[in-house]
Structure 1
């Protein structure tokens, strides 16, 4: 059955405690093997650790971290006459937010140790201060896009 017109946009639900969509998006990305209650526990423990470390509102720290990690540019591989070229493209806000969440969680998982709540809280605090692996990933992506700026006409 064909769809006529644009597909409906899905809106993310908000989590039960903070009533925040960004929190729900993060919890859904933490989720592994369908264990959502474990993902909630990890996130809420990380929030408590952020509150202890920074003595700020943890949602502000989270929002600041995600906004600092959100990329503005990315590269997309395009094949042209047998060659693969990295073409820089501008990223819209929802896609950038999804990439930022993915990078923060990947950086947190790479940290040493077994306590995911501690690793996540450390990565979020570092990202909000402008350092850490997630920030490095964003800068690397921007550098690659800037280096291939000559191919921007292929968009």
Structure 2
């Protein structure tokens, strides 16, 4: 980040940098994939909870903190729907585990995981002359982020089901595996499966 950008950064009333959960800086997090830069929001927030302000704005979710978006994905099944504080606590504890495992900023590790787990190509159905075809199409950047977040949380949920491992440990393991290209990652397996089907449908 440039010196000019650092000078205009949001700060607390006491003049300190705003850190996620009071622990992790978002200023030095880098997004390597240029196409995803617009859709991964790293705006400094203390608690990632926007209270649904983006809900009625088209593409408004692009301005929601990426940490809040992964917490929202954890609320998906009916059993956990609406339990935002529970979801945020899961993410916070998972980030603490990631920091212990990797020694790096967990937000940076999450961004790497999203970049690695987001499919570039998928299939859509086209009906032509009464016959249904599957045709491969490029995936838009916003959908790439959506799918990556979905795969990461699905993998964590599947790992912790009927397992003594907690959801926090499973989420941390999934994020680290996806970030470092581990073949055990559920998100990477799903991405490769989608891209393989799309390649066959070209």
Residue 110 (str. 1) matches residue 158 (str. 2)? yes
Matched positions, count: 137
Residue 136 (str. 1) matches residue 180 (str. 2)? no
**Worse-superposed segment, 117-126 or 83-92:** 83-92
**Worse-superposed segment, 105-114 or 25-34:** 105-114
Residue 94 (str. 1) matches residue 142 (str. 2)? yes
Distance 1:8 1:48 in 2: 33
Q: Which has the higher contact order (CA 8 A, sep 6+)?
A: 1
> Is the 2:126–2:132 contact (alpha carbons within 8 Å) kept by the matching residues of 1?
yes
Show the counterpart of 2:19.
none
Distance 2:201 2:178 in 1: 26
Spell out structure 1 runs of 4+ moving beyond 6 A. none
- RMSD of the TM alignment (CA)? 1.7
1:133, CA displacement in angstroms?
Answer: 1.2
Give the TM-score of the pair, scaled to structure 2.
Answer: 0.63
Show the counterpart of 2:39.
none
> Is the 1:30–1:105 contact (alpha carbons within 8 Å) kept by the matching residues of 2?
yes
1:80, CA displacement in angstroms?
Answer: 3.3
**Greater helix content:** 1
